[in-house]
Amino acid sequence: MAGNLYDLGEVTGLKLLDGTLTPEYRAGFALPALGTGGTRATLGVSDRPLFGTIFKPNIGLSPIETADLVEALAEAGVDFIKDDVILANPPVAPLALRVPAVMDRLRRYQDRTGRRATMAFNISDESDAMRRHADLVGLQAFGIATASRSLPSATLKAEAARLGRELAVLAGQVPLGPVHLKVCSTFDSAVEIGKFVRAAQALAQALELNRIVVLGGQPSLGRHCVFGTLFAVASDGAVHRIDRHPVMAKHPVTPMAEADLTRHLRALGLGSIELHALPTLRTGQQLPANCGAVLCDALEETDISRLGTLFRDQTDLLLVGASSVAEALAGPPTPAPAVCRPCHGPILAFAGSRSGICDNKGPARRAGDCRRGHVIGYDAEACPACTGLRGGG
């Protein structure tokens, strides 16, 4: 969460002890494909912490020298080994030579010891070069990060069209598989800002995809879509219709005033859209074929699995939704256990979330005062085991 921030002279005296992301914030990002449990199962480690490192030095080493260092790290018991961010495809150690050299050592190590160590290569480059690099390391999926949620509608449409054209070139060279436009699980979007429908239309046109399919729910995050109506759990544990949700109904930029997602998507410009409702989904019927857009209900995680079966059989779909789309295609994530460390000494709390937890009494309420520009310090007795702060920022 902080990385080498503490190398800066102004903050060398600070130490980050713990941090928590609110459900509302986390819902805006894709969840890990494997999660903690899946990662441990892949590595065969269940009874100890996992250990990872970014190997150094990195610039100037030959492919063989890099492989020597990676092998030494694996022998020392490291589970995850990663290229440094500044090491990409240098002339002295190009990926075309570095990847085979490193992977040969790791495979030999696994054959000899039975223990698996993983290597993450930095393949950053121009789009065509990244595709070649991905082929080297056996990439199964890739994502493109944008600032789309904060972009004006016209800018967002132009950016999506540009990305679509580049992806179309890539699709002419290698099958892309499912294309997923990641949006927030609460579908908050405004006509002027973050209008993801425009991005979906531009991508579908550039990639010649005939249908836009919107997955309306994500049960793993407490988002449920029933007969086209979106419900979401709040920090108090109660489930609210999205237009009555204590946070999303009052979002400062993109408040959700409409819970009927078909009406909401039409207002954003999607036009004709058909509903693949729960009864239809659960009887095993295929997605509607003669329409430009489909909204799919999802109440329970079994519905996500059913939709995954439908999605994998189609090749003309642009899938729009939260990380529930990834869950449908690859299976549900393994939840990580919540960890709360005891507090020792003074605490500096800053809460930037609109979560209702900031309105609670006690330490969390005082942390909530930070939204008005105040910095509040208090001791451990005011916050035993950090309970009042978890979820607050």
The residue out of 137, 162, 187 marking a domain boundary is: 137
Between 336 and 347, residue with greater pLDDT = 347
- Does a structural domain hold residue 65? yes
Q: Does residue 344 share a domain with residue 322?
A: no
Q: Does residue 243 share a domain with residue 382?
A: no
Tens digits of per-residue pLDDT, 314-323? 778 999 999 8
Token pair belonging to 47 = 């009874």
pLDDT at 387: 38
The residue out of 103, 137, 171 marking a domain boundary is: 137
Q: Does residue 316 share a domain with residue 170?
A: yes
pLDDT at 380 over 60: no
Give the CA distances from residue 254 to residues 71, 148, 186, 206, 236, in Å, rounded to whole numbers and listed in that order. 50, 13, 10, 27, 22
Report helix angle 95-113 to 63-75, nearest 10. 30
- Does a structural domain hold residue 14? yes
pLDDT at 369: 39
- Does a structural domain hold residue 26? no
Q: Does residue 211 share a domain with residue 82?
A: no
Q: What is the CATH number of the domain that holds 204?
A: 3.40.50.10840
The residue out of 110, 137, 164 marking a domain boundary is: 137
Q: Does residue 192 share a domain with residue 309?
A: yes
Q: Does residue 204 share a domain with residue 326?
A: yes
Q: Residue 114: which pLDDT band, with cuts at 50, 70 and 90?
A: confident
Q: Does residue 318 share a domain with residue 393?
A: no
Domain tally, the chain: 3
- Does a structural domain hold residue 29? no
pLDDT at 361: 38
Q: Where in the sequence is the domain holding 213, given as residue range(s)?
A: 148-330
Find the mean pLDDT for residues 171-182.
Answer: 73
Whether the bond between 63 and the residue before it is cis, its omega within 30 degrees of 0, is no
Q: Which of 144-148, 252-256, 274-278 is predicted least confidently? A: 144-148
Q: Does residue 325 share a domain with residue 187?
A: yes
- pTM to 2 decimals? 0.56
Q: Does residue 361 share a domain with residue 293?
A: no
Amino acid at 24: E
Q: What is the CATH number of the domain that holds 112?
A: 3.20.20.110
